[in-house]
Amino acid sequence: MKNSSTIEFNIAESNLVNIALTDPSGRTVREVMNEFLNAGKHSITLDVPDLRRGIYFLLIRSGNDNRMIKLSVE
C-alpha cells in the first residue's frame, strides 16, 4: 500500500467497532475508527502518506470478535 487503501470488513452483529493501526511491537500508531456500526459489510479508506515504510497491523475489534490484517506500507 502506498498513500491509501480501501479495507473491506464484515461485522457479524451490530456493535461498537474499534479499528486501530499498530506497528509490529503492538504500539498504536493511529486510531482509525471507534464507532457503532450495524451488522454487514463495511469499508474504510486508510490514508498513510505520513507513515514510514514497513509492516503494520490493522486490528478490528467488535464485541468478542477480534481480527488482524497485516499491511505493508511502501
The second-level CATH assignment, the architecture, of 4-73 is Sandwich (2.60)
Rounded to whole angstroms, how far apart are CA atoms 63 and 41?
16
Name, in order, each residue with C-beta under 8 angstroms of 48's C-beta and a sequence gap of 6 or more.
1, 3, 4, 5, 21, 56, 73
Half-sphere exposure of 67 (CA within 13 A, CB side): 12
Confidence tier at 12 by pLDDT (50, 70, 90): very high
Rounded to whole angstroms, how far apart are CA atoms 62 and 22?
17
Q: Where are the domains of the chain?
A: 4-73
DSSP 59: E
Q: What is the pLDDT, as a whole number, of residue 50?
A: 86
Q: What is the pLDDT, as a whole number, of residue 31?
A: 96
The predicted model scores a pTM of 0.89
